[in-house]
Structure 1
Amino acid sequence: MNILITLYSTSWGGAEESVLNLAEEISKNDNNIFLLWVANYDSPRPVVSFPKVKIIYLRLHRKLYGLVASYLVGLLCFYHKIDIANLNWRFVNEEGRLLKLLKIRSVATIRAILFDRNSCDEFKNVDAIIGVSKAVVNQVKALGFQKPCFVVYNGIQIEKLKFFNHKVFLPERIFSMSRLVPWKRVDWSIKAINTLHDRSYPLRFDIYGDGPERNELQKLIEKLGAESYISLRGYVNIRSNQLKRYGIFLIPSFKEPFGKTVVEAVIHGRVIVGSRSGAIPELLPKYKLLFRYDDFQNYVQKIVQAYKNYSQYSKNILKRQNEFKEKYNMKRVARDYIKVYHALLNGTKKTS
C-alpha cells in the first residue's frame, strides 16, 4: 500500500513520537509511507532510518496551513498514488476535503478526548475514525459520529527502553513526566506534595517535561516555599539514568486520552498514582491507587497510600508487566492499523 500520514505539530510530545514510530513500523510490512509533517515552531526535521518512509517537512503557521491543507494533501495523494490517507486530528476537515473527489479512502486518528466540542462536524470528510482508547471513541460517538470507529490503543517501542533495577527504586522519590499544559494538572501534584511535606512526609518530587505552564508552575513552587523538595527538571530522555531511583509516578491528568507514560511506568515497574479519568482506568483496571478525578484530598490520600504500602503496590505493578509488553508495543499497533486500512479499502463497515 501507499499510505499518506499527516501531522500538524504545535510542539514536540508523545503524539509526535508515536506518529513517527508508527510510520516506521508500518513500513516494515512492505508499505510505502509518505509522512506529511507540518510544524508551526522551530524544531529539528524529524529523521527516520527506514527507506520506505518519506518525510515531507514544512513549517507553516496554523492559518496558512488551514488555507492550503486540502490542496496540499490532494496533490500529494495524486502524485504518490496514495491508497489510503491517515489524518491526525488537527485540520482533518481541511485535509480531507478533496479526498472523496479523488476517491481515496481516509481515516482520522484522534489522540485527545474531545470534551470541549459540541459536534463532530470537523470529521465529516473522513470515512472512519481511529481512537487511541475507548474513552476517545466513546466521546466521538457521543458527539454524533455515525461512521465506523476503531479502538487502536497506542504503544511504545519497548525494545528501545532502558530497564532499571526496580529493587533500587525509592518510594520517597516521586516524579511526573508530561507536557506542562493545564489539563495535565501538574499543579495538583505540586500542591499535594507540599501538603504532605507539611505533614512531615520525607518526599522529593521532580517534574520532567516542558510547555506553556512552566513559568506558572515555577511561581507556584516558589510561592509555597517548596524549592528544596520540588523541582522542574525540563525534558529528559526515557532512557536517562536520572530516572533510575524513582519509585512512584504521578499522573493526575483530566481526560487523559491514552497514557503513554503510564505504559512506560508499568514496564519499568514503578508504582503509579493517577486519576480515575479518561483512559487511565482502561489501562489499569482494578487498580487501587486511582483517585476521583475531581477530588484533591482523595489524590493526597492515594499518594500516602502508595508511600506507606509501597511494597504491596510494587508487586501489583510487576504482575502487569508482561501483559503491558504484549499489549502496548508498536508492532501490535502497526498490525492493528494495517487491519483498519484493509477493512476500509475492502469496504468493511464493522465498528469495533
Structure 2
Amino acid sequence: MRIGITCYPSHGGSGVVATELGKLLAENGHEVHFITYEMPFRLGNFHQNIFYHEVEANQYALFKFPPYDLALASRMAQVAIDHKLDLLHVHYAVPHAVAAVLAKQMVGDHLKVVTTLHGTDITVLGEDPTLKGIIKFGLEKSDMVTAVSDSLIQQTYDMFHVKVPIERIYNFVDERVYYPRDVQSIRRQYVSDEEKILLHISNFRPVKRPKDVVDIFHRVQEKVPSHLLLVGEGPELMNIHQQVIDLGIQDRVHFLGKQNEVAQLISLADLLLLPSEKESFGLVALEAMACGVPTVGSATGGVPELVKQGETGYLANVGDVPAMAESAIDILSHPHLHEKMVSNGLERASKHFSGSAITKQYEALYQRLLQQD
C-alpha cells in the first residue's frame, strides 16, 4: 500500500507512535510518505520505502497567522496525486483530520482517511467551544477512526456524540529498541549498589502533575535510599527546580533535560512515576514495562488498561500522593515483589503491545477500508 502519515513531529506520544508505525509499515514493504512541517525527530536516518514531504505555510502579508491547515491540506492532496496514495493516516484530530478530509475532497473518494485519536486532541481541545464543531466534523468525515484506549473512545462519544464507529488499537513499542539493558556502569554514576532510582519522563505540563512526582519521591527517599531522574522540559520545570531546593533534596534529584533516545535511561530505573491528571494511554509506562520497570501512578484514562494493579505496578486516585509513595516504598523494599512485577510487565508488553502485532492490526484495518469500494 501507499500510505501518507501526518503527525506532530515533536517529542509527544502521538508523534512518536505515528513515526514508529510508519517505520514498521515501511519494513513490511509499504510505501510511506510523511507529510509534516518538520522532519519527525524519530525518523532520523534513511529508511527504505519512507519519504518526507515538508509543509510550508504561506507568509503573505495580509495573513496575521500563516494558514498552516490549508497549506497542509494542499500538500496532502499534492502528495496523494503525485505518489498515487491509497490512504492518509492522520494522528491527532486538530488540524490533521480536517486537512485530510479537505485533501480527499480535492483528490477524490478513492483516497481514504484514517484518523487516530491520541488523547489531548479530545480531552483538552475538545473542551474548547471554538474547536468542538470542527473536531466533530473531522471525525465524522473520516473513513475510519481509531483511538489508543477504550477510555478515550468513551470520552470521545461522551463529548462529541459522534455516530461513527471508533476502533481501539493500542499504542505499542518496538521490542528491538525497548528491552532491559545492561546499564550497570552508567547506573553507578548516579547511585551506589544499595540505592534505588526512580524516574519521571514528561513534558512537564501541569496535567502531568510533576509537583506530585517530587512530593512522592520526597516521601520515598526518607524510607528507601534513592535518587530521582527527571527527563524532559516544559513550563513547570522552573517550579520543580524550586520545589526540590525547598525540600532540600537537590543532591538526590537529577534534571536530565530533553532526551531523544530514552530506552537506555529507562533501563536505569527501578520504578517509573506517572501521577498524571490525564493519560489517554500512558506510552511512557509501556516503554518502561518493556524495559522491565514497574509503574506507580494515577488510575486515570487508559492507564488501568495498560498497568495491571498489583501485577505490573500500582495505581491510585489522582493526587493521592501518600498512597503512591507507600506503593513505591512497598515495591522498592521487597525484591521479590519487584522481580514479579518486572517479569509480569515484560510478558504483558510482549504479548499485548508489541510493534509487530499492532502494525498487523493497522494493516488489517487499511485492507478492510480499501476493499470497501
Q: TM-score, normalised by structure 1?
A: 0.86
Q: Deviations over 1:136-155 (max 9, x none)?
A: 22212222121121111111
Higher-helix-fraction structure: 2
* Equivalence for 1:127: 143
Residue 93 (structure 1) aligns with = 98
Question: Which residue is equivalent to 1:234?
Answer: 257
Q: Hey, what's the Cα distance between the residues in 1 that align with 2:236 and 2:243?
A: 11
1:99-138 alignment to 2 at 5 Å? 99-100=104-105, 102-103=108-109, 104-113=111-120, 114-116=122-124, 117-118=126-127, 119=132, 120-138=136-154
Separation in structure 1 between the aligned mates of residue 220 and residue 346 of structure 2, nearest angstrom: 29
Asked if structure 1 preserves the Cα contact closer than 8 Å seen for 2:267 and 2:291, the reply is no
Q: Which residue number corresponds to residue 16 of structure 1?
A: 15
Q: Percent identity?
A: 18
Q: 1:172 aligns with which of 175, 180, 196?
A: 196
Moved more, 156-165 or 174-183: 156-165
Q: Distance in 2 between matches of 1:139 and 1:284?
A: 19
Higher relative contact order (CA 8 A, sep 6+): 1
Superposed counterparts of 1:1-352, under 5 Å: 1-9=1-9, 11-39=10-38, 46-58=43-55, 63-89=66-92, 90-91=94-95, 92-100=97-105, 102-103=108-109, 104-113=111-120, 114-116=122-124, 117-118=126-127, 119=132, 120-142=136-158, 143-161=160-178, 163-164=180-181, 172-197=196-221, 199=222, 201-236=224-259, 237-240=261-264, 244-287=267-310, 289-347=314-372
On the 8 A contact 1:273/1:306 being kept in 2, the answer is no
Give the superposition deviation at 1:123: 2.4
Equivalent-residue separation in structure 2 for 1:43 and 1:107 (angstroms): 19
Distance (Å, rounded) in 2 between the aligned partners of 1:45 and 1:325: 22
1:149 and 1:301 map into 2 onto residues whose CA distance is: 38
Assess if the C-alpha contact under 8 Å between 1:171 and 1:247 holds in 2.
no
Does the aligned pair in 1 maintain the 2:36–2:54 contact within 8 Å? yes
Q: Is the 8 A contact 1:162 1:238 kept in 2?
A: no
1:190 offset after TM fit, Å? Answer: 0.7
Is the contact made by 1:166 and 1:270 (CA closer than 8 Å) also made in structure 2?
A: no
**Which residue identity is paired with 2:327?**
K
CA RMSD of aligned residues (A): 2.8
Looking at structure 2, the residues matched to 166 and 273 of structure 1 have their Cα atoms a distance apart, in angstroms, of 22
Structure-2 separation of matches of 1:256 and 1:72: 32
Q: How many Å separate the matches in 1 of 2:102 and 2:263?
A: 41
Whole-angstrom distance in 2 between the partners of 1:33 and 1:278? 31
| Aligned-residue offset at 1:22 | 0.9
Query: Against the structure 1 CA distance between its residues 338 and 162, is the aligned structure 2 distance closer, same or farther, given a 3 Å change threshold?
Result: closer
Deviation per residue, 1:75-98 (Å, 9 max, x gap) = 222222221111111312233223
SS in 2 for 1:160: coil
Deviations, residues 265-322 of structure 1 (Å, cap 9, x unaligned): 2222223211111111101234361111242332233223323334314313313312
Offset of residue 245 of structure 1: 4.3
TM-score after normalising by structure 2: 0.82
Paired residues, what number? Answer: 343
Task: Quote how far apart the aligned CAs of 1:44 are.
Answer: 6.5
Q: Structure 2 CA distance, aligned partners of 1:292 and 1:155? A: 25
**Contact persistence 2:20–2:42 (CA under 8 A):** no
Task: Give 5+ residue unaligned stretches, structure 1.
Answer: none
CA deviation string 1:4-49 (max 9, x = no partner): 111233x32333232222112112333211110224xx98794353
